[in-house]
Structure 1
Amino acid sequence: MSFRPFTSESYSEGDRPEAWRDVLRAVGLQPSPTTTVPSGYATASRRRSDGVALAKLSAGSQAVSPLRDLADDMPIVLLPSEDGVTLRTPAGHQIISARQLLLLPRNGDWSVAFPRDMRAIVLSVTSEAFHGRKIGQSGLADVRIMPPGGFTDIFSRTLESAAGTLETLTDIEWAAVAQSLADLLPTFMRQLGVPAISAGTATQGAILHRICQTIERRLGDPDLAPARVAQAEGISERYLQKLFEGTGGFTHYLRERRLQRTWADLSNPAEAHHSISEIAYRSGFNDSAHFSRTFRHRFGLSPREFRQQESERGAASAVTAGQRGWPQDALAQLRSHHPLPPARTTTAPSDSNCGQSDAVSDHSHHHLAVEAARVHWGYFSRALPPQAEVNSGDTITIETLTQHASDDPERMIVGDPGAESVFRWTKEGKNVDRRGAGPMDASVYGRGAGEGFGVHICTGPVHVRDAQPGDVLEVRILDIVPRPSRSDAFKGRVFGSSVAAWWGYHYNEFLAESPPREVVTIYEIFCDDGAAHARALYSYRWAPQTDPFGVLHSTYDYPGVLVGPASVKRRHNVLDGIRIPLRPHFGVIAVAPRETDLVDSVPPSYFGGNLDNWRLGKGSTVYLPVSVPGALLSVGDPHATQGDGELAGTAIECSMTGTFQLILHKKADLAGRAFADLTYPLIETETDWVLTGFSHPNYLAEFGANGQSEVYANSSLDLAMKDAFRKMRRFLMNIKGLSEDEAIALMSAAVDFGVTQVVDGNWGVHAILSKRLFEDVPQT
């Protein structure tokens, strides 16, 4: 097929830059000489046919320029899709807003810089596409900037629609689309009436490029003045102003770049928990009233009106009521979240009598008890203050609660101070108000603060001293013990809950005319030596529950709604005589993601998170790539047992306490290790390596501002399988030294691929590689 997907997950870190160059070459581009080719996460959807190449690109900050082709004079079309870009020509620099179309001469002297992330659609059409037909004058000597409106909008929407369906088009359909784009481009060019950009000197362009990079780095400095910049560059202020003549002057350029930054942030749903003033101040404006006037003058709307407009625009594509994930209007109405109190730890031992920790360490030991002040519910964040600080090699015991304890409060909450602290909810308020990464004002579905977009109770985070981005954190799971009931009626016994919920894979597959339903099953957990198991006590169908604030929950849609015994009809003798073996593990083990301040806890990703793999039990290890200083490790979503797939939506959820050893591996020391070049959670057991594949390996980077909605709508087992395959191929080639052919042969013969889960928004497939395969391989 002509469709060629690209993901950096297929390549080792050293091979990614050249692989990315190949992606750019396909659409007539190359990295600019002044830019560093990014080696981080990147994806591309691309198709090509005779003379036509279309690509949807997502990558890190960089600059691109034309791959000179003197044999052709058709322009390259570039549409920035999320953030503004900086256009460099010999005349100087110019800020281009997102969704402004650029026509770029294939042999021109220009570059386009993406100051934050590269998200763009690129169309390359050459004369080959016209099969000898004459199309009139096609040459373009200078860059043309096409603002939105009229024929530009038609052409832009055609590009977006085509780019969005690249993967699903058949070859025959793509050929028709490609020819239509090729025929449309000359028609579009004939409509041009925009004057060309005048020429200037290459030296001036180089100086301007360097100064603009400085401005980008220091955009938030309100004291960034022409005199300071000129002094830092060793030029006169008069010459500085002359350099910026082509952009309207230094002050105009700086103001425009700040306005573009605030425009992007105000339209970004993931930034909506920041106030307008916060966004203005961090972009270098030091007076909110002045900012508001300037913004209105530039964009025709006040910042508040613009944000509301973007919210309403997003509402048109909001997911259906009850859907997991962030509806666009929910995202755009986020309000500031409440930070947790300062870190505290305790050295008290675990009081569980359903198991005994056998962790032994020569390093310091820490204990993190669970209570409302030490958990974050339903989200991850780089901004959370740590609840404990440890050194590499230290051990830490972390108490965790299941968010499903509210399914039977009598057994799993009553009498337990930690659980009562976290779950407390009366008419007067909740101890943990934010429950999810949604809006605090519950303005979309009205379910409650956080809206439930993210559900897991996570204890932490734990700060690992000296951890820096690029390092790897090794998390050894030394022990896991269930948390017993402290209720007088059930003291010492252990219970868990499983929900066949509306987000389960089964939900639209009920037999005959059976109506969709949600069923909760309560289990008792038995810790018999050698035969630990769970037995069902009873089940009930979810009945509408009214929370203490008076909100009716018709479905299982908001975390922590306490179910009253009299509100449901219990059915006993379910799964009668069946003993389910235990596989205790933590569904969530995560370091903080680098992107945005609030990340839904449901979809897993490169930072770990909601992995839901039962192999993460006692004696196993998970390696996680560190993305923020301190790593900020959180643990939660404890499971008594789970099958591969987690088909109905949950495991047997059971509060548990884990003991971990945290070992930091510095970036400079990773070479030759199994976790070198790590961009995903890597699990190690006594016998196997387990690689985690996802539908979207880094959905936050791939989809940008809308990632926490898009990932739910675009996940599939096919994509997850491809990711698991690519990662295993890379592991076998770069860690085990096999050729590509050898890696593929071994995968087919000896690697087990399995479905991890199909309910977490970002579906998972794991690949299991037995260590025994390499026992006879000579050690180098």
Structure 2
Amino acid sequence: MTPRPFTSESYSEGERPEAWRDVLASVGLRPAVAELTHKGHATAVRRSFEGITLATLSAGPQTVAALPDAATDHPLLLLPLDDGVTLKAAGGYTIAAAGHLLLLPRLGDWSVAFQRDLRAVVLCVDHDSTHRRAAVLDLTEPQQIAPGGFGDLVGRMLDTTARHLETLSAPEWSAAARTLCELLPTLLQRSAAPATDLSAGTSSKAATLHRLCQTIERRLDDPELSPAKVAAAEGISERYLQKLFGGAGSSFTHYLRERRLQRTRADLSNPGEAHHSISEIAFRAGFNDSAHFSRAFRHRFGVSPREFRQAETERHATTAAAAAQRGWPQQALAQLRSRPPTTTVRKPDAAALQGPRARPAPEPQHHHLAADASKVHWGYFSRSLAPQIEIASGDTITIETLTQHASDDPERMILGDAGAENVFHWTHDQKNVDRRGAGPVDASIYGRGAGEGFGVHICTGPVAVKDAQPGDVLEIRILDIVPRASRNPDFKGRVFGSSVAAWWGYHYKEFLAEQHAHEAVTIYEIHHDADAPYARALYSYRWEPQTDPFGTVHATYDYPGVPVQPSSVRRRHDVLDGLRIPLRPHFGVIALAPREADFVDSVPPAYFGGNLDNWRLGKGSTVYLPVSVPGALLSVGDPHAAQGDGELGGTAIECSMTGTFEVVLHKKTEFADKPFADLSYPLIETATDWVLMGFSHPNYLAEFGAGGQSEVYATSSLDLAMKDAFRKMRRFLMTIKGLSEDEAIALMSVAVDFGVTQVVDGNWGVHAILSKRVFADARC
């Protein structure tokens, strides 16, 4: 009756295929090819009632088939989400678009291929159900039911029930389960033609056709893709290729057009693709004429690409963030528009990259990356950013980082500092770093500014690591952290920082009854040379509406880098009078580029690191991160002078700092007996502890698909983050330390500290701390 969640984070890499097979089996499915069982990140939520099971599945590309069950004749009902699928039946292939229902017999030779990612809802009724209608539910071949009429009603109910599967009460869930089961017989009566049969040699021809489909998928962006090219790639004749598609009731041209339209449909519904124009998305899918694409899209889906994107943004708005969260706000997506990004990142000099690396260096090299407008990206991570520099494993690098809060007191934290002035330069005529976030460049949601502030951190980089490839692990050792002193002659040599109790803070809806919600900024002086380094508050002020140099009024702290005019606020002195805040210098953001999307909001952390906001990432500590893209693409930012666990008010003491790092690349083939041998999350090591990072959603980009950057804000909770931290620590103790599950749980209860890392970053965090002393006398 209660939901059964599944996440691959609970299992070591070697155990994930079997665990995923068990999940599929619970809804009547199996991997179509056993050795190709998905091994990467996967999640599922399942809920059952009297033999009726409903599940949402999310995983990487794969093909699934029926798990034979002669005891039941109820078909499976499968609803693909986000992207279409390829259905193989009776030796032929047909295409099922996202939103099309598939009725699948429990016995039969069929398979469903998810070419990009598996994102689907599955309804399974077993032989124990008290709601069986065997005579009505006879089905021998798969059927596809397009949206419209009764099929549309069933599809919407299936999707809606799945979205609320974990929050429905027991009576609500049982009623929904019975209703879905009772709808199946009527749905079966709809007319739908089964897949076309191929002629003799079915098995061989079907396998060849499947390979052709995969080749097309890989080359979809080639506008000149032709039958001759694909046939040559597979070593067959063009005539035979056409015969195979004809035998499947289609043609090469029709199949190629349908896949391109389905790809554009998925991307147009994805908020993470908001920075791409409709034309860019069309060209990326292989269309070379925007007018032709628009006509083809309208003919296929009944609306224009622009109308479809607008409708999808309104749909996503219903699951977007609550108003008290940064990132994609609740009303944000309702007016989403997109144009090409205007920010460009300077590529490193070719000679600098090729020259020194052309011959092996006898000693590790030291590099320096200064902070200026050409070397930072503000508010987002991207696999598409050109690296500012390339380093080798074992090299050290000094990276200057700036706080995005320096404009809270420009006189102390920007004036006279050439690097900071260059990054923050914003006048009526010029804004040196235009894009500030992963939102649309044209500020069509709120009119805040380019990027809309969906992501706020100034990140220096990225830094490419020579020979780094997906599957490797990058070890980042923090050798030193030095605060960036003021360059203003009036404050020369002194260090300052800012903390904002902001509208995204956990406290914001918990003010005392007689007070009105407000935002408060506190400016600190950092005394880092003292015997016991500390910060002391200088003054504070409540945020008042600020007008930026482009004339936009910011009633709240809603866009990074808006300069605060001293005359516009009322400073309050003698705040936190006499109190010393112990320093915990660290970097809030240490990230590698994620693989899932081109522009990723810098606020929610995940498996790639990012906005971890854990004060243990200070001098002398190390963080291990899994590499997802070639070169790793390391970025550092969000420097903090001090922060408490929880970061309750929304920020730490934000203070520009310079860090020196040693970067070590660990190749996947060299992981044996290493603490990071099974790494799929940020792992922190200090001199005394192992610190594992848990999140509400460990890989929200994969879990939620196209809507990940909005949905993560709406569903984060400490309960989910605690479960993730527990699962990861259990896995660490079992896989790395060799304990049994019972031993791991016993140890966690008495020797592992779980703490709230932060509750303000969209993807809430809980960390688990394991003291190294526990294993001082152990052999593991």
TM (norm. structure 1) is: 0.95
Q: 2:343 aligns with which of 334, 338, 341?
A: 338
Change (3 A) 1:63 1:740: same
Q: 1:157 to 1:7 in 2, by over 3 A?
A: same
Q: Which residue of 2 aligns with 1:167?
A: 166
Does residue 395 of structure 2 align to residue 394 of structure 1? yes
Structure 2 Cα separation of the partners of residues 295 and 170 of structure 1: 41
Change (3 A) 1:375 1:142: same
Q: For residue 418 of structure 1, what is the aligned residue in structure 2?
A: 419
- Report 1:316-395 matches (<5 A): 319=321, 323-326=325-328, 327-329=332-334, 332-333=337-338, 335-343=340-348, 363-395=364-396
Moved more, 251-260 or 267-276: 267-276
Give, as a single letter, the amino acid of the residue that structure 2 aligns with 1:503.
W
What residue is the counterpart of 2:359 in the other structure? none
Match of 2:295 among 289, 293, 296: 293
- How far the C-alpha of 1:314 sits from its partner, in A, is 4.2
Kept after mapping to 1: 8 A contact 2:470/2:630: yes
Q: Tell me how far apart the structure 1 counterparts of residues 319 and 621 of structure 2 sit (CA, whole Å).
A: 42
1:352 corresponds to: none
| Structure 1 residue identity aligned to 2:434 | D
Secondary structure at the aligned position of 2:129 is classed as helix
Identify the residue that residue 472 of structure 1 maps to in structure 2: 473
Equivalent-residue separation in structure 1 for 2:472 and 2:134 (angstroms): 55
Deviations 1:102-129 (A, max 9, x none): 1011112111000001100000013422
Q: Which has the higher mean CA deviation after the structures are superposed, 754-763 or 68-77? A: 68-77
Moved more, 427-436 or 240-249: 240-249
2:614 is paired with a residue whose SS is coil
Q: Displacement of 1:497 after TM fit?
A: 0.6
- Secondary structure of the structure 2 residue equivalent to 1:130: coil
For each residue in 1:19-38, what CA deviation from the matched residue of structure 2 results, as whole angstroms up to 9, or x when unmatched? 00000000000010277111
The secondary structure found in structure 1 opposite 2:603 is: coil
* Paired residues of 2:319 and 2:714 also in contact (CA < 8 A): no
**What is the correspondence of 1:16-415 to structure 2 with a 5 Å cutoff?**
16-33=16-33, 36-130=36-130, 134=133, 136-190=135-189, 192-200=190-198, 201-245=202-246, 246-314=248-316, 319=321, 323-326=325-328, 327-329=332-334, 332-333=337-338, 335-343=340-348, 363-415=364-416
User: Contact between 2:409 and 2:564, CA under 8 Å: does it hold in 1?
Assistant: yes
CA distance in 1, matches of 2:434, 2:503: 24
Aligned to 2:738: 737
Alignment partner of 1:426: what SS? coil
C-alpha distance in structure 1 between counterparts of 2:455 and 2:274, whole Å: 17
Q: Distance in 1 between matches of 2:482 and 2:163?
A: 47
Equivalent residue runs for 1:480-559 within 5 Å: 480-559=481-560
Amino acid paired to 2:656: S
Q: C-alpha offsets along residues 510-542 of structure 1, whole Å, 9 cap, x if unaligned?
A: 112210011101111102343100001111111
Root mean square deviation, CA, Å: 2.0
- Matches of 1:387 and 1:235 in 2, distance apart? 44
Report the equivalent of 2:355. none
Amino acid at match of 2:16: R
Using the TM superposition, give the Cα deviation of residue 134 of structure 1 relative to its aligned residue in structure 2, in angstroms: 4.9
Q: Secondary structure at the match of 1:460?
A: strand
Task: Give the distance between the partners of 1:340 and 1:697, measured in 2 at CA.
Answer: 29
Question: SS state of the match for residue 430, structure 1?
Answer: coil
Q: Which amino acid aligns with 2:659?
A: G
Contact 2:324 2:508 survives alignment (8 Å): no
CA contact (8 A) 2:412 2:488 kept: yes
Amino acid at match of 2:36: T
- Give the C-alpha shift of residue 301 in structure 1: 3.5
Larger displacement relative to structure 2 (265-274 or 565-574): 265-274
Say if 1:501 and 1:648, in contact at 8 Å, map to a contact too. Answer: yes
Counterparts of 1:605 and 1:236, CA distance in 2? 46
**What is aligned with 1:432?**
433
Deviations, residues 184-227 of structure 1 (Å, cap 9, x unaligned): 2223323x122333433333222211221122122222333223
Moved more, 206-215 or 754-763: 206-215
Deviation string 1:130-150 (CA, Å, 9 cap, x unpaired) is: 26x656421111111111011
CA distance in 1, matches of 2:620, 2:512: 41
**Aligned letter for 2:194?**
A
SS in 1 for 2:128: helix
- 1:717 touches 1:763 (CA, 8 Å); kept in 2? yes
The alpha-carbon deviation at position 234 of structure 1 amounts to: 4.1
- How far the C-alpha of 1:313 sits from its partner, in A, is 4.6
Q: Supply the distance in 1 between the matched residues of 2:394 and 2:214 (Cα, whole angstroms).
A: 40
Cα shift at 1:660? 0.4
The one-letter code matched in structure 1 to 2:166 is: E
Secondary structure of the residue aligned to 1:57 is strand
Q: Which letter does structure 2 place at the counterpart of 1:272?
A: A
Cα–Cα, structure 1 residues 335 and 308, in superposed 2: closer, same or farther, change >3 Å?
farther
CA contact (8 A) 2:453 2:560 kept: yes
User: Contact 1:484/1:491 (CA < 8 Å) preserved in 2?
Assistant: yes
* 1:572 alignment counterpart: 573
Counterparts in 2 of 1:612 and 1:737: CA distance versus 1, 3 Å: same
- For structure 2, the 5+ residue unaligned runs are 353-361
Q: Any residues of structure 2 matched to 1:580-659 within 5 Å, and which?
A: 580-659=581-660
Percent of aligned positions that are identical: 70
Give the Cα separation in 2 of the matches to 1:577 and 1:778: 50
SS in 2 for 1:254: helix
User: For the structure 1 residues 685 and 557, does the alpha-carbon distance in structure 2 shift closer, same or farther, using more than 3 Å as the test?
Assistant: same
* Aligned residue identity for 1:194: A
Aligned to 1:454: 455
Task: Supply the distance in 2 between the matched residues of 1:697 and 1:577 (Cα, whole angstroms).
Answer: 41
1:437, distance to aligned residue in structure 2 (A): 1.0
Structure 1 window deviating more from structure 2 (173-182 vs 210-219): it is 173-182
Superimposed CA distance per residue, residues 369-406 of structure 1 (whole angstroms, 9 cap, x where no aligned partner): 11111111111111111112111111111111111111
1:351 maps to none
- Classify 1:165/1:300 alpha carbon distance in 2 versus 1 (closer, same or farther; 3 Å): closer
Query: What SS is found at the alignment partner of 2:462?
Result: strand
CA offsets 1:581-626 (integer angstroms, 9 cap, x no match): 1000000000111111110000000000000000000000000101
Alpha-carbon deviations, 1:622-653, whole Å to 9, x = none?
Answer: 00101111111100000000000000000011
* Whole-Å separation in 1 of the counterparts to 2:144 and 2:757: 47
Q: Which residue of 1 aligns with 2:769?
A: 768
Write the distance in 2 (CA, Å) between the matches of 1:287 and 1:587.
44
3-state secondary structure, aligned to 1:609: strand
Which 10-residue stretch deviates more, 222-231 or 156-165? 222-231
1:414-454 per-residue CA deviation (whole Å, 9 max, x = no partner) reads 11111111111111121110111111111111111111111
CA distance in 1, matches of 2:323, 2:2: 38
Relative to 1, partners in 2 of residues 1:663 and 1:223: Cα closer, same or farther, differing over 3 Å?
Answer: same
What is the Cα deviation at residue 297 of structure 1? 3.0
- The structural deviation recorded for 1:331 is 5.4
Equivalenced residues, count: 764
Between stretches 728-737 and 157-166, larger displacement belongs to 157-166
The Cα of 1:336 is off from its aligned counterpart by 2.3
Q: Which amino acid aligns with 1:26?
A: S
Corresponding residue for 2:357? none
Q: State the secondary structure of the residue aligned to 1:372.
A: coil
**Match of 2:490, SS?**
coil
Residues in 1 aligned to 2:308 and 2:279: alpha-carbon distance in whole angstroms:
14
Question: Which amino acid is the alignment partner of residue 18 of structure 1?
Answer: E
Deviation by residue 1:205-257 (Cα, 9 ceiling, x = unmatched):
22211221122122222333223333444444333222112332122112221
Is 1:273–1:337's contact at 8 Å kept on the other side of the alignment?
A: no
User: 1:345 Cα shift?
Assistant: 12
In 2: Cα distance, 1:134 partner to 1:314 partner: 37
